Amino acid sequence: MCFDQLALTLAAPGQLVGVSDVARDPLLSPRWREARALPAVRMRIEEILGLRPDLVLLDAQAPAHVAALLRRAGVAVVALREAATFAEGLARLRDVAQALGRGDAGRTLADDLERQRAAIVGEPTARRPLAAVWQANGFTVGAGTMPDDLLRLAGWRNLAAERGMGAFAPLPLETLLRAAPDLLILDGASSERPSLAEALLAHRALRREFPGGRTLVLPPGQWLCAGPQNLDALRQLVAARRRIGGVP
């Protein structure tokens, strides 16, 4: 899905013939509207070849046989690793643009995003308050992820990263409350399919300990993948830090 977002941003009109099915999910994909205008493709050779593509962008973690079969069918394959930092995201943006024959557009956009990032973040801050990300089933986001890097850039410390947690790990409610972070970051309102996993996000202890001023709702689509949408996440994170620090 992360490469779908970059391709949807950079491709020339009519250049894309399909995107992954998850790219249509409005809860995860910032470009779900554009994605829904294209055929949805799953990781199945028959579906991919049915669209007769010249090029397929794959996550480097995709099953090796998929890329091998595509190449046997004469389809060019570009396999890229997902970005875990804003800087890596700019590099991936340039890579995708180059693969699409849109190198100049990719370089121009990457340079513009870097300028905007610098303007949003400003000078490094001496005080770095503590933030915690909390998701369905009590999972949090640790080191080696895009959210962790954006928190750092915006002047926050990440509770999960400081505790040595990996990319996605469970964070018990009791541990979260004892840590008393300055800011609690939630995915947003419940999905179209409410579940017991999401009910934990509305626990009365959270509502008591983290009133509105200490809670930030940040949809996953803004910082799950690299792309222009990361600037929106940075703006909100910087604004929350300044608000909590009493900076007008």
Domains for the chain: give ranges and CATH numbers: 2-120 (3.40.50.1980), 130-244 (3.40.50.1980)
Side chain identity at residue 86, one-letter code: F
Task: Check residue 190 and give its pLDDT.
Answer: 47
Partners of 55 in the β-ladder: 76
Tokens of 20: 């992954």
Distance, in Å, from the CA atom of 199 to the CA atom of 208, rounded to the nearest integer, reads 15
Task: Check residue 194 and give its pLDDT.
Answer: 58
Walking along the chain (248 residues) 10 residues at a time, the average pLDDT comes out as 94 95 91 94 92 94 92 95 95 96 96 97 86 90 95 96 90 92 82 58 77 86 94 96 76
CB-based contacts of 79, cutoff 8 Å, min separation 6: 58, 59, 60, 62, 67
Taking the alpha carbons of 32, 218, 156, 199 in that order, is the dihedral positive or negative?
negative
Task: Check residue 98 and give its pLDDT.
Answer: 97
Task: Check residue 27 and give its pLDDT.
Answer: 86
Side chain identity at residue 170, one-letter code: P
Q: How far separated are the first and last CA of the chain, in Å rounded? A: 37
Task: Check residue 193 and give its pLDDT.
Answer: 53
* pTM (two decimals): 0.90
Indicate the SS3 state at residue 21. Answer: helix
Side chain identity at residue 236, one-letter code: Q
Task: Check residue 246 and give its pLDDT.
Answer: 61
Strand order in the sheet with 157-158: 157-158, 130-134, 183-186, 215-217
Side chain identity at residue 176, one-letter code: L
Task: Check residue 127 and give its pLDDT.
Answer: 85
Task: Check residue 211 and give its pLDDT.
Answer: 77
CB-based contacts of 176, cutoff 8 Å, min separation 6: 132, 134, 138, 159, 184
Question: DSSP secondary-structure letter at 157?
Answer: E
Task: Check residue 213 and give its pLDDT.
Answer: 75
